[in-house]
Structure 1
Amino acid sequence: MKRTAFYHSSHRSAFLRPGRLSVITLLASAASITQPAFAAGTLAGTNIENIATASFDVGAGTVDIQSNAAVILVDELLDVTVTSSDPGDVATTNGATNAALTYRVTNNGNGPESYRLTPNVANGGDDFDPVFAQIVIDANNNNVYDPGVDTVYVAGTNDPLLAPDQGVTIFVLINIPATQTNGQRANVSVTAAATTGTGAPGTTFAGQGQGGGDAVVGTSGADGEANGFLRVDAASVALAKSAAVVDPFGGSNAVPGATITYTITATVSGAGSLTNLVVNDPIPAGTTYVAGSLALQSTLLTDAADADAGNFNGSRISVALGNVPAGQTRTITFRTVIQ
Structure 2
Amino acid sequence: MRTKMFLITILALMLAFSLAYAAGTPAGTVISNYATGAYKDANGNSLPNVTSNTVTTVVSQVAGVDISPASTSTNIVFHGTVSFALSLSNTGNGTDTFDLTKVSVETGGGVNTVEIYYDENGNGAVDAGESTVTSTSALAADARYDLVIVVTNVSGDDGSYCTTTVTGTSQFDSDVSDASSIVSTLSTSVMGITMTADNLNPKPGDIVTYSIYGENNGSATAKHIVLTNPIPSNTTYVPGSMAIMGSSRTDASDGDSSDYNITAAGAVTFTWGDAPAGASGTLTFQVQVNDGVPLGTIINASTIVNYNNILDEAQQPVSGNVNGARLTVSQLYAVELGADKTAIANPGDYIYYPTTVTNTGNGSDIFSISYSSVLASWEFYFDHNADGLINNGDVLITDSNLDGKPDIGTLIQNEVVYLIAKAQLPAGTSDGFVCSMTMVATSVGDEAVSDDGVISVTVTAPVLSLSKVVSPAGEQPPGTTLIYTCTLTNSGSGLATQVVISDNIPENMTYNTGSMKIGTATKTDTSDGDGATQSGDAVIFEIPQLGPGGSTSVSFQATIN
Normalised TM-score (structure 1):
0.58
**C-alpha distance in 2, partners of 1:333/1:149?**
51
1:75 aligns with 2:60: yes
Per-residue CA shift, 1:63-85, capped at 9, x if unaligned? Answer: 23433332222111112233545
Report if aligned partners of 1:238, 1:266 keep a CA contact under 8 Å in 2. yes
- Residue 171 and residue 85 in structure 1: after superposition, are their counterparts in 2 closer, same or farther (change >3 A)? farther
Which residue does the alignment assign to 1:138? 119
Structure 1 residues 167-316: aligned runs within 5 Å: 167-178=144-155, 180-198=156-174, 221-239=175-193, 266-269=214-217, 271-273=218-220, 277-281=224-228, 284=231, 315=265
Higher alpha-carbon deviation: 53-62 or 129-138: 53-62
From 2, 11, 21, give the equivalent of 2:4. 21
The one of the two structures with greater contact order (alpha-carbon pairs below 8 A, sep at least 6) is: 1
1:162 aligns with 2:139: yes
Report if aligned partners of 2:215, 2:278 keep a CA contact under 8 Å in 1. yes
Report if aligned partners of 1:278, 1:319 keep a CA contact under 8 Å in 2. yes
**C-alpha distance in 1, partners of 2:15/2:177?**
34
- Residue 128 and residue 268 in structure 1: after superposition, are their counterparts in 2 closer, same or farther (change >3 A)? closer
Letter in 1 for 2:180: A
Percent sequence identity is 18
Q: Which is higher, the Rg of structure 1 or of structure 2?
A: 2
The alignment covers a number of residue pairs equal to 272
Per-residue CA shift, 1:36-56, capped at 9, x if unaligned? Answer: 212211122222221322223
Report if aligned partners of 1:121, 1:129 keep a CA contact under 8 Å in 2. no
The unaligned stretches of length 5 or more in structure 2 are 198-204, 286-561
**C-alpha distance in 1, partners of 2:120/2:62?**
27
- Residue 275 and residue 174 in structure 1: after superposition, are their counterparts in 2 closer, same or farther (change >3 A)? farther
- Residue 26 and residue 230 in structure 1: after superposition, are their counterparts in 2 closer, same or farther (change >3 A)? same
**C-alpha distance in 2, partners of 1:332/1:163?**
66
Structure 1 residues 96-175: aligned runs within 5 Å: 96-101=79-84, 103-122=86-105, 126-128=107-109, 130-142=111-123, 144=124, 146-148=125-127, 151-155=130-134, 159-175=136-152
Per-residue CA shift, 1:307-339, capped at 9, x if unaligned? Answer: xx99965747585946x54123589999xxxxx
Q: 1:115: how far off?
A: 0.9
**C-alpha distance in 1, partners of 2:144/2:10?**
41
Which residue does the alignment assign to 1:92? 76
Per-residue CA shift, 1:130-151, capped at 9, x if unaligned? Answer: 4433112333434x4x243583
Report if aligned partners of 1:85, 1:102 keep a CA contact under 8 Å in 2. no
**C-alpha distance in 2, partners of 1:310/1:63?**
110
Report if aligned partners of 1:321, 1:330 keep a CA contact under 8 Å in 2. no
- Residue 139 and residue 327 in structure 1: after superposition, are their counterparts in 2 closer, same or farther (change >3 A)? farther
Letter in 1 for 2:104: V
Q: Secondary structure at the match of 2:215?
A: strand
**C-alpha distance in 1, partners of 2:258/2:84?**
37
Report if aligned partners of 1:55, 1:64 keep a CA contact under 8 Å in 2. yes
Q: 1:118: how far off?
A: 0.6
Report if aligned partners of 2:118, 2:133 keep a CA contact under 8 Å in 1. no
**C-alpha distance in 2, partners of 1:235/1:242?**
23
**C-alpha distance in 2, partners of 1:238/1:274?**
13
Letter in 2 for 1:162: L
The unaligned stretches of length 5 or more in structure 1 are 1-17, 199-220, 244-254, 256-261, 335-339
Q: Secondary structure at the match of 2:62?
A: strand
Report if aligned partners of 1:98, 1:133 keep a CA contact under 8 Å in 2. no
Normalised TM-score (structure 2):
0.38
**C-alpha distance in 2, partners of 1:168/1:325?**
41
Alignment RMSD: 5.0
- Residue 314 and residue 129 in structure 1: after superposition, are their counterparts in 2 closer, same or farther (change >3 A)? closer
**C-alpha distance in 1, partners of 2:146/2:46?**
65
**C-alpha distance in 1, partners of 2:99/2:3?**
65
